[in-house]
A and B are shown apart, each in its own frame.
Chain A
Amino acid sequence: MTDLAIQIDGLRFAWKGNAPVLDVPAFTLARGERLFLRGPSGSGKSTLLGVIAGVLEADAGKVSVLGQDLASLSSSARDRMRADHLGVIFQMFNLVPYLSVVGNVTLPLKFSAARRKAVGGDAEAEAKRLLGRLGLTDEALLERRVSDLSVGQQQRVAAARALIGAPEIVIADEPTSALDADARDRFITLLSEEAARTGAALLFVSHDASLARLFDRAVDLAEINRAGVKA
């Protein structure tokens, strides 16, 4: 057992045949820590998240998630690791269009026995509890098609999905870029609170440096990534 949720040593990554996108000598995220990772678009943020989530393989270096070296895992073991321990929130269009709000929130439970176990019996009740915490209490709203929800509501549904089953790490990739300032601060506060409640480490990525004040610690990707690509 390690105190580190994520630990990166000498990570290098390049898309096939291109110049390196990532050259990260060191990066860590402690368990339960709420970290703000600043980086303009095209700085390799999404690629870094892909590597951490285990869908992209590093060319060199070591990436450990919860003490597990990803390189030592098979791709299906990495998929299981992601299903069990990672919650992900995207910039937008987070939801599966043909599932209900609750169906979207409980989706990770279909792929992870560990998170099913963490939730216990009633997945729907837990989904509604999380949605309620994030300010989505209106039952009628929960019945609507997800495409009828506002962007802010969609992002909160995505947050509930990332948090359900108490994964150790929640990754948010520019989740607030489509929200106005008020909604953005409220969203981050709610997300932080809920992450704190479940004990999840929060890795929040954004180009907007003004958000850094809402987190325990802030890191600039340009500082830790020597590849420093600008697209």
Chain B
Amino acid sequence: MSAVLSLAWKSLMNRKGSVILTLVAVALSVALFLGVDKARTGAREGFGNTISGTDLIVGAPTGSVNLLLYSVFRMGNATAEVSWPTYQKIADRPDVAWTVPISLGDSHRGFRVLGTTNDYFVHYKYGRRQPLKLAEGAEFSDLFDAVIGADVARELGYEIGTPLVLSHGLGAASLGAGHENRPFRVVGILAPTGTPVDRTVHVSLEAITAIHVGWETGAKNPLADTINEKMIRSFDLTPKTITAFFVGLERKGTILTTRRAINTNKGEPLMAIIPGEALAELWSVTAFAERALMAVSVFVIAVGLVSILTSILTSLNERRREMSILRAVGARPGHIFSLLVLEAGLVGFLGAVVGILLIHAILLVAGPMVEARYGVSLAGTGPGLTDLYTLLAVTLASLLIGMVPAWAAFRRSLADGLSVKV
């Protein structure tokens, strides 16, 4: 077999030009397939890493995916709010260890604003239960303090002490509809997390109430500007409603009963979701698109493999003489068969290896850019089992596909005998 393998190798080297073209086709198809797969895994991991250590997320009844999306990923909007007394009732439950209320709805130059308490910095965890860390400055202590995510600071060039004005709603720069009269000040900048926290401006819950004084109808009351900061500070700024809250339990074992208790809350209807469960539900929604994408890239690999088949089949005629010579010096039909199968296998194997190297080189270069732009981390997708399995599958498939020309050559070598036709 090793004799035939070395023959196959030399034969390929002799046809370098066309072999390299075939190899490139296979390599590109493998790189595309792995690229799609890695983007998919990267996105999943990125999403999965966004929240950890939180047992339940509670909000007004809506779809569980929707609640997860707006509370954790800052995507979409809440359709209803949770009243402060109801929140406090849940927070006071004996099986609840901690809660972090959040209030959404405002923005700053395209970044979402999250009203919360300093508990957020204690209990919100991401990745492998990593807490948020301040790169600079401190948590909020004054009413108009803001703690900004790493991306906000970087993209807007903000530093500690930079003043900022929030806008009502999510418009990038809704002049006139803003909270210009209530400027904030950056007091803290968070270290990068690779989660939506990086793109969030955090302020206190009271500040959210404060800037909405005079906005009780949903639009700005012309008299709002007559209320000065001193007056506001004297108001009771306890929020009337919040958007949602995160819950940590005393004991994990009670998670299902606690959830049921919250979901069947008497009075104001509530909905509690388990983050992991909601994520799984989200994946079941995206799975269809993912499968379609994977199917397309599998077909691209198939096209790459067919190009192996074509290149070998077209070379068979001109190699008829070579086969006769090999037969004459004692090669059995099996040798001819395995020669062609091995040629196909070698091209498939090398193509897959080049494709794997290619995609990793691309990830190395483009990974940081993708992460910066889309928040999808591809860094954790170094060479892994998927690459190995892909390599094996492509090699195996090319060996199988090589059997087609091998069979043709095998039949022909039996019929041709020793008579070498010119």
Contacts and interface: CB of A to CB of B under 8 A. Distances in A.
Interface in B327-363: 327-335
A4 interface: no
B326 A90 contact: no
A178 to B, nearest CB: 11
B330 A96 contact: no
Contacts of A47: 419
Contacts of A103: 10
A86 B330 CA distance: 8
A50 B322 CA distance: 16
Contacts of B419: 46-47, 50
Interface residues of B, number: 25
Q: Which of A84, A98, A107 has the most CB of B within 10 A?
A: A98
A88 B329 contact: yes
B303 to A, nearest CB: 28
Contacts, number: 72
A55 interface: yes
A103 B420 CA distance: 20
B125 interface: no
Interface in A44-65: 46-47, 49-50, 53, 55-56
A95 B325 contact: yes
B422 interface: yes
A94 interface: yes
Interface in B8-41: 10-11, 13-15
Contacts of B333: 75, 79
Nearest to A87: B329
A133 interface: no
B14 A98 contact: yes
A107 B330 CA distance: 9
Interface stretch (A30-38, A108-116, A192-200, A223-231): A108-116
Interface string A65-88: 000000000011001101110101
Given A97-B14, A111-B3, A53 B418 contact: yes
Contacts of B382: none
B321 interface: yes
Contact of A80 (B13, B15, B325, B330): B330
B330 A111 contact: yes
Contact of A93 (B7, B326, B330, B422): B422
Interface string B135-173: 000000000000000000000000000000000000000
B420 A90 contact: yes
Contact of B325 (A53, A76, A79, A94): A94
Interface in B377-397: none
B422 A96 contact: no
B350 to A, nearest CB: 17
Contact of A50 (B15, B335, B418): B418
A50 B417 contact: yes
A125 interface: no
Nearest to B332: A79
B328 A111 contact: no
B418 A112 contact: no
A99 interface: yes
A161 interface: yes
Nearest to B323: A96
Given A98-B13, A98-B14, A110-B3, A93 B420 contact: yes
A53 B418 CA distance: 8
Given A79-B330, A111-B330, A93 B418 contact: no
Interface string B236-278: 0000000000000000000000000000000000000000000
Closest 6 CB pairs of A and B: A83-B330, A98-B14, A111-B330, A110-B3, A55-B417, A50-B417
Given A50-B419, A96-B326, A98-B11, 18 more contacts: A46-B418, A53-B328, A53-B418, A55-B327, A55-B418, A76-B334, A82-B328, A83-B329, A84-B330, A88-B328, A88-B418, A90-B328, A91-B420, A97-B14, A98-B10, A99-B7, A111-B330, A112-B330
21 contacts: A50-B417, A50-B419, A53-B417, A53-B418, A76-B332, A76-B334, A79-B332, A79-B333, A82-B330, A86-B330, A88-B329, A88-B418, A90-B325, A93-B420, A96-B322, A99-B7, A107-B326, A107-B329, A110-B7, A111-B3, A173-B418
